[in-house]
């Protein structure tokens, strides 16, 4: 143990002797440069960490557009929110050819899945009636397409106190116009010098209304009588309907039986036609057989005629011999055959 402590003491003693011989004036510039480099690296690291914490570095974004009716209270850098959560900012504000205010929104890509083709964008105030306006995206309606880079959002009406007051002012203006029109009409009715006042102040219009009311009453009375008659007819029809239904059922049954009989008669007629067809086929076969017999008979007669002709030729040839000529009769001894041939 003592030897180890002695070795450590000797080691440190040697190191102190080495440091004593170092020229620190030559190394001062190198040390200052090293310290400056370390300070710069630490500063850069702290700056990058701060920018990442603020979401400026390492943040993926994409663009969306919307066209609002008015851009009052909006500016470049205005926050964009979904249900109070900041998801981006307004990058650019411009006017379209039709006079709408076009906003270019820079949004964090991690909220992209929430924003669809049915999302609605509008201006509002996120804290109170005097706070700065923000852009809110309403995602209550779920669409069938997620908006991509450079797509357009549906623009809605601003939802803040200014919009409410503006709408109320427009409504009050319309009500004022209606009140003025009603006041003018009332003055025309009261003033008998005008056409409307004279017409309403005269008994003519009331007499005509009374006459028209009487006519309408008479018409309703006539209609009531017609309705009673129609009710009687419907009752009669209702009473006679069972008989008509029974008669129709009987007729239907008779027609069905007639159709069955016609079907049976059709079957019998078909069988008779088939039988006649069979008979005609047999007669045709019999005629064909007779034709074959007649052909055979004709062939036999033809062959007999040829045989007799040959026999006649043979007798004629034999009769030419001188020793047989005197023995052959000059006339056929069988008159019938002679006449036939």
pLDDT number for residue 336: 45
Maximum CA pair distance of the chain?
A: 194
Say how far apart CA 337 and CA 305 lie, in whole Å.
Answer: 12
pLDDT number for residue 128: 67
In this structure, are residues 119 and 151 in contact, taking their beta carbons and an 8 Å threshold? no
Beta strands 61-68; 151-152: pairing state: parallel
In this structure, are residues 163 and 157 in contact, taking their beta carbons and an 8 Å threshold? yes
pLDDT number for residue 107: 92
Question: How far, in whole angstroms, is CA 197 from its chain's centroid?
Answer: 60
For the four alpha carbons of 144, 146, 147 and 153, in that order, the dihedral sign comes to: positive
Say how far apart CA 69 and CA 71 lie, in whole Å.
Answer: 7
pLDDT number for residue 261: 80
Parse the chain into domains and list their residue ranges: 61-159
Say how far apart CA 46 and CA 48 lie, in whole Å.
Answer: 6
CA nearest neighbour of 136 among 159, 106, 118, 168: 159
pLDDT number for residue 66: 92
- In angstroms, the Cα distances linking 76 to 81, 88, 101, 127 are 15, 12, 13, 19
For the four alpha carbons of 245, 248, 254 and 258, in that order, the dihedral sign comes to: negative
Q: What is the dihedral of CA 136, 139, 140, 145, to 10 degrees?
A: 150
> Which runs of E-coded beta strand occur in the chain?
61-68, 79-82, 85-95, 101-108, 120-125, 133-138, 151-152, 154-155
Say how far apart CA 307 and CA 301 lie, in whole Å.
Answer: 10
Taking only the tens of pLDDT, the chain with its 341 residues reads: 556 666 666 666 666 555 555 555 555 556 666 666 777 787 777 776 676 655 555 558 899 999 998 888 888 999 999 988 899 999 999 999 988 999 999 998 888 888 999 999 998 887 766 678 899 999 888 888 999 888 999 988 877 677 777 778 888 888 888 888 887 777 766 666 666 556 556 666 667 777 888 888 888 888 888 888 888 888 877 777 777 778 778 888 888 888 888 778 777 777 777 777 788 777 777 877 777 777 777 777 777 777 777 777 777 666 665 555 555 555 555 454 444 44
Q: Is the pTM of this model over 0.75?
A: no
């Amino acid at each position: 143990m003592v030897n180890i402590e002695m070795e450590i003491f000797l080691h440190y003693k040697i190191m102190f002797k080495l440091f004593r011989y170092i020229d620190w004036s030559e190394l001062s510039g190198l040390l200052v440069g090293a310290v400056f480099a370390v300070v710069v690296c630490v500063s850069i690291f702290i700056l990058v960490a701060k920018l990442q914490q603020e979401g400026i570095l390492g943040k993926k974004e994409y663009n969306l557009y919307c066209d609002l009716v008015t851009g009052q209270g909006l500016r470049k850098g205005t926050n964009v929110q979904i249900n109070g959560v900041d998801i981006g900012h307004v990058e650019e504000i411009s006017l379209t050819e039709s006079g709408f205010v076009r906003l270019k929104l820079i949004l964090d890509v991690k909220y992209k899945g929430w924003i669809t083709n049915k999302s609605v964008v509008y201006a509002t105030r996120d804290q109170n009636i005097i706070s700065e306006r923000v852009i809110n995206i309403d995602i209550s309606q779920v669409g069938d397409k997620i908006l991509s880079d450079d797509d357009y959002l549906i623009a809605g009406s601003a939802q803040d106190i200014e919009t409410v007051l503006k709408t109320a002012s427009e409504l009050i203006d319309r009500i004022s116009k209606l009140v003025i029109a009603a006041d003018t009409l009332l003055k025309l009715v009261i003033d008998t010098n005008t056409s409307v006042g004279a017409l309403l102040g005269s008994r003519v219009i009331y007499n005509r209304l009374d006459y028209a009311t009487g006519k309408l009453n008479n018409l309703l009375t006539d209609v009531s009588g017609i309705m009673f008659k129609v009710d009687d007819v419907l009752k009669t029809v209702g009473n006679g309907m069972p008989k008509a239904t029974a008669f129709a059922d009987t007729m239907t049954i008779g027609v069905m039986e007639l159709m069955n009989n016609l079907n049976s008669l059709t079957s019998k007629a078909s069988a008779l036609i088939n039988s006649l067809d069979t008979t005609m086929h047999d007669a045709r076969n019999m005629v064909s057989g007779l034709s074959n017999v007649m052909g055979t008979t004709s062939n036999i007669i033809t062959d007999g005629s040829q045989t007799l002709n040959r026999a006649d030729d043979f007798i004629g040839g034999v009769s030419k011999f001188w020793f047989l000529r005197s023995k052959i009769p000059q006339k056929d001894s069988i008159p019938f055959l002679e006449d036939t041939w």
